[in-house]
A and B are shown apart, each in its own frame.
Chain A
Amino acid sequence: MKKLNKSFWIGIVFAMVLYGVIQILLTTGIFDDVMESTLILICINVMLAVSLNLINGITGQFSIGHAGFMSIGAYVSAILTLNFDVPFVLALVISGLVAALFGVLIGIPTLRLNGDYLAIATLGFGEIIRIVLLNTEYVGGASGLSGIPTQTTWTIMFLFTLVTVVVINNFINSSHGRACIAIRENEIAAEAMGINTTLYKIIAFALGALFAGIAGGLSAHKFYVINPGSFNFLKSFEILVMVVLGGLGSTSGAIVGAIVLTVLFTVLQEYPELRMIIYSAILILMMIFRPKGLLGSTGFSFKKFAKKEAKPSDSINS
């Protein structure tokens, strides 16, 4: 247990040094505003990828509706600061909790579904959220909300990212996180060993949604405008590709995947139509050359990607 504690503190010290170095580069002007925006975007994507990894990589539930939770957080926090003068950080916390609540509400009916069916349900959830936002006058319809106070500073962003990574990693490396991994590994055996699999799937969904919601809030308060179009299926897919690139089931992998893809897209900003091709190419290349992801700990196959095992009726009887 001491060892666990030690690696935890090494991580914290590393994060602080990283923060300090970047802070120096920013204040001395070596890193300009564009660079700062990129760094913040990287952190937002790290939050999204690490939280999605908890659902897909750790618990083995194939969700592709993460942009939906992100948009809930973005809209809730923006309305709170714009219309109700709620302090920024409080607005972020509330937006995360609302997203988590949606995670629970969506999770209860859909988590009975397996693999592909769950994927379709979560995809549908993301699209429903987007279409509701699109048709709601109060949140600006298609043009969305603008004039959101740009309160997401590099320091706040870094702190929230650090908290996300630490809390999720602490969860994963505990008996509760192991319960989630057991569900991924063999749901029938997990249930037979006393794990309330439904409860832990919902917990994973809620925790993932919580941090995706906060990431959405931070994003809204960085980029000034939000509209339903920025939380479409492509965004959900992008987060999924980050997780797969890094390696399903690995938090450090999700971080690396988020950094690599964000940098790649910032460099290729002028060619947005290339994104879809790049996503597909990455997925195919990963499957062929690095099925476990750049840093992955668990095998990546389409089966694992979607779900963990055969349906109960297939093989329980023999």
Chain B
Amino acid sequence: MTASTAEVLLDVQQASRSFGGLKALSEVSLHINRGELIGLIGPNGAGKTTLFNLLTGVYPPSSGSIILNNESVGGMKPFRINRKGAARTFQNIRLFTAMTVLDNVKIAFHQHAKHSMFTSMLRLPKHFSGEGEITQKAMDILKIFNLADQFDELAGNMSYGNQRRLEIARALAAGPKLLLLDEPAAGMNPNETRDLMNLIAWIREEFDLTILLIEHDMSLVMGVCDRIYVLDRGMLIADGSPLEIRNNPKVIEAYLGQEA
């Protein structure tokens, strides 16, 4: 698809965010078209997670606009943005650790629940049909992620790799159009990482998703992304195809500067 004719799902214009005196993001503009898989890379502390926090409503932008699906969502509460179609995972895993694997996924389906609180309190028939539907859908998602046989385990007791996968499963359960993944491969070994990248490519097709993927290891995103944005010290320093990014002197400098 060509960027000019494809429909824009996410459009960020001049978004900035400061924390006290620190400018974590300055005037970042980017756009993502429907169906794209976009990489967001940059050295540690570049502001990648901060951008996610703005996109998902954890913090309002200090200035600038965020348009999701033709609607301004800048400064909206996180639960509203989630319901508008953007779901995320966290760099430091945030599961509901004392809940079961199944219940973790069910939480994301709650926004689609068809039974009211009162039907549940009185155990009216609608409660059972509503809960049954949620359970069924949650199990379907777990099957896709090969987690179905662990549905009854506490999320906190799962292996690290499975916790990361469960977080993606949970985000997917919310039914997003845009999936935001914050360093999903962090802490995984090369085999797990490869499996994960294959999984991401697969769910993208299967669920008709648009994905924004944060990774600070540049080599990882090169193979899977359509386009890549590069952040450094709060500013967008480059964007383009993986090949363009690989050869961009500014990007090389930003990464060398960090490793030196």
Contacts from A to B (Cβ < 8 Å): 1, 4-5, 8, 167, 170-171, 174-179, 181-182, 185-186, 188-197, 203, 297-299, 312, 315-318
Scoring B residues 44 to 64 as 1 if CB is less than 8 Å from chain A, else 0, what string do you get?
Answer: 000001100100101000000
Known: A193-B170, A195-B79. A171 touches B49 (CB 8 A): no
> Is A197's CB under 8 angstroms from B79's CB?
yes
> Is B111's CB under 8 angstroms from A174's CB?
no
Query: Which single member of A4, A189, A299 contacts B98 (CB below 8 Å)?
Result: A299
> Is B110's CB under 8 angstroms from A1's CB?
no
> Is B107's CB under 8 angstroms from A178's CB?
yes
- In angstroms, how far is the closest chain B Cβ from the Cβ of A222? 26
B69 lies within 8 A of chain A by Cβ: no
B23 lies within 8 A of chain A by Cβ: no
Query: Which single member of B77, B99, B121 contacts A182 (CB below 8 Å)?
Result: B99
Known: A167-B122, A175-B120, A193-B171. 6 other contacts (CB 8 A): A170-B123, A185-B97, A186-B94, A188-B90, A193-B79, A317-B53
Query: Which single member of B58, B78, B94, B121 contacts A171 (CB below 8 Å)?
Result: B121
Closest B residue, CB atoms, query A177: B120
> Is A186's CB under 8 angstroms from B117's CB?
no
> How many pairs of residues, A versus B, come closer than 8 Å at their CB atoms?
125
> Is B107's CB under 8 angstroms from A193's CB?
yes
> Is B110's CB under 8 angstroms from A179's CB?
yes
Closest B residue, CB atoms, query A298: B98
> Is A194's CB under 8 angstroms from B96's CB?
no
- In angstroms, how far is the closest chain A Cβ from the Cβ of B23? 14
Chain B residues within 8 Å of chain A by Cβ, number: 45
In chain B, residues 232-258, which have Cβ atoms closer than 8 Å to a Cβ of chain A? Answer: none
Query: Which single member of B87, B92, B99 contacts A315 (CB below 8 Å)?
Result: B92
Which A residues touch B134, using CB under 8 A? 175
Distance in angstroms between the alpha carbons of A174 and B113 in the assembled complex: 10
Contacts from B to A (Cβ < 8 Å): 49-50, 53, 56, 58, 77-79, 82-83, 87-88, 90-92, 94-99, 103, 106-111, 113, 115, 117, 120-123, 127-128, 130-132, 134-135, 170-171, 174
> Is B131's CB under 8 angstroms from A179's CB?
no
Query: Which single member of A174, A196, A318 contacts B131 (CB below 8 Å)?
Result: A174
Distance in angstroms between the alpha carbons of A312 and B59 in the assembled complex: 10
Closest A residue, CB atoms, query B105: A193
Closest B residue, CB atoms, query A186: B94
Closest A residue, CB atoms, query B53: A316
- In angstroms, how far is the closest chain A Cβ from the Cβ of B125? 11
> Is A188's CB under 8 angstroms from B111's CB?
no
**Is chain A's interface secondary structure helix, strand, loop, or mixed overall?**
helix
- In angstroms, how far is the closest chain B Cβ from the Cβ of A14? 17
> Is A191's CB under 8 angstroms from B79's CB?
yes
> Is B77's CB under 8 angstroms from A1's CB?
no
> Is B128's CB under 8 angstroms from A297's CB?
no
> Is B111's CB under 8 angstroms from A194's CB?
yes
Query: Which single member of A5, A171, A194, A195 contacts B117 (CB below 8 Å)?
Result: A171
> Is B99's CB under 8 angstroms from A185's CB?
yes
Closest B residue, CB atoms, query A171: B121
Which A residues touch B135, using CB under 8 A? 1
8 contacts between A and B (CB under 8 A): A4-B128, A170-B127, A175-B134, A176-B117, A178-B103, A182-B96, A182-B99, A315-B92
Known: A186-B96, A312-B58. A171 touches B120 (CB 8 A): yes
> Is A179's CB under 8 angstroms from B107's CB?
yes
Known: A316-B58, A317-B53, A318-B92. A175 touches B115 (CB 8 A): yes
- In angstroms, how far is the closest chain B Cβ from the Cβ of A71? 25
> Is B83's CB under 8 angstroms from A194's CB?
yes
Distance in angstroms between the alpha carbons of A297 and B103 in the assembled complex: 15
Query: Which single member of B50, B108, B123 contacts A194 (CB below 8 Å)?
Result: B108
Distance in angstroms between the alpha carbons of A74 and B91 in the assembled complex: 50
Distance in angstroms between the alpha carbons of A317 and B49 in the assembled complex: 6
Distance in angstroms between the alpha carbons of A182 and B107 in the assembled complex: 7
Distance in angstroms between the alpha carbons of A299 and B108 in the assembled complex: 24
Distance in angstroms between the alpha carbons of A298 and B103 in the assembled complex: 15
CB-based closest 3 A-B pairs: A174-B120, A185-B96, A194-B111
Which B residues touch A8, using CB under 8 A? 123
Closest A residue, CB atoms, query B82: A194
Distance in angstroms between the alpha carbons of A315 and B53 in the assembled complex: 12
Known: A5-B128, A170-B121, A182-B99. A192 touches B92 (CB 8 A): no
Distance in angstroms between the alpha carbons of A170 and B96 in the assembled complex: 21
> Is B79's CB under 8 angstroms from A175's CB?
no
Distance in angstroms between the alpha carbons of A185 and B155 in the assembled complex: 11
Query: Which single member of A167, A178, A185, A297 contacts B106 (CB below 8 Å)?
Result: A178
> Is B120's CB under 8 angstroms from A170's CB?
yes
Query: Which single member of B82, B91, B103, B131 contacts A1 (CB below 8 Å)?
Result: B131
Distance in angstroms between the alpha carbons of A8 and B98 in the assembled complex: 23
